[in-house]
Amino acid sequence: MLVIDGSYGEGGGQILRCAVGLSTILNEPVKITNIRANRPTPGIKAQHYVVIKSIEEMSDAKTENLEIGSTKLTFIPGKFKMGNYKFDIGTAGSITLVYQALILASLKTDKKLNIKLTGGTDVKWSPSWDYFKHVFIPLVKKIGVKVDVNLLKRGYYPKGGGEAEINISPGSHLKTLKLDKETEFSKIKGIVNIAQLSTNISKRIKNSAIRSLLRNNLQPDISVEENKTLSPGTGITIWTDTKDIILGSSVIGERGISSEEIGRNVVNDLLSEINSKSTVDSYAFDQILPYLAIVKGESKCIVKQISNHAQTNMWLIKQFLDTDFQAKQEENNFGIVVNKQ
């Protein structure tokens, strides 16, 4: 049985989620030790528990030591069963992180899956719903993944209560990703989401982002979405409006950070990606690495930087697969080649 040290590198929940996903795809039993050992509260958290428990239920996988707080897990994969499933992460656990793990795990399913989740849609330390929908999902679709997503209700920290569903279709035919040509951008799309707060806040976030984009000769198309939720919250996600290359950025509203600063921050983050001539942004890069590593052949892209998350993911993937990662450092970016023999 393959044994993975969950404390390696970045040492967070990503190792656990990705390891279980790869285990399922490759039908390779795995034991993960030292889970989240580098975190203030080590062990399996609610969102990680839901990932593994849902895969267990949908595929008749077998587990040992699956409980919240456990620092080790044995996972023996099974085969997905067609059906409609519903899981509750509890409070504001990240819906998008759970979905990313479930999409990866179900890549080779020959069954149609409908999966509804309840939890947090826009929370710290995870992709916002709009980033997930408008950046991550289009990227994995380019790789050949057959998945559609639908937001039913937003959910913010601390109460959560957000709802979403995804439909995964069988027969994904994965293909390499060739995004190694620099692109000029002119239009930027975006969504400001808000609930239980003054609409003046969302207007100020939107106007601040628009002013920053116009100053940089980018044409904005930003809408405001008002929601009814259990907890108040706000945030903004923006992304490049092109057919081939999608770069994104998102900021969750926090106490002590002005609306104007939120608008400026989300634009500055995206501008740093655009100015580096990236073809995949730094956040999406580590999220799509497992897909690129599975596809036979050579994938190429340009990234501004290789984050600790991405380095950890590369290490983890190489425990499962004979995939070669090459990074050529240029003046403002890295040229990436992922090659699976």
Active site positions, annotated = 309
Q: Please enumerate in sequence order all residues whose Cβ is within 8 A of that of 330, keeping only pairs 6 or more positions apart, or say none.
A: none
- CA–CA separation, 303 and 121 (whole Å): 26
Task: Return the closest-CA partner of residue 259 out of 213, 218, 206.
Answer: 206
- CA–CA separation, 285 and 136 (whole Å): 9
- CA–CA separation, 259 and 120 (whole Å): 22
- Is-contact 296 173, C-beta < 8 A? no
- Is-contact 145 102, C-beta < 8 A? no
Place of tokens 């990234």: 303
In angstroms, how far is CA 43 from the centroid of its own chain?
A: 21
Task: Return the closest-CA partner of residue 32 out of 54, 51, 60, 57.
Answer: 51
Adjacent-strand bridge partners of 222 = 190
- CA–CA separation, 66 and 55 (whole Å): 12
- CA–CA separation, 274 and 280 (whole Å): 10
- CA–CA separation, 69 and 44 (whole Å): 5
Task: Return the closest-CA partner of residue 100 out of 65, 53, 147.
Answer: 147
Structure tokens at 105: 């795990």
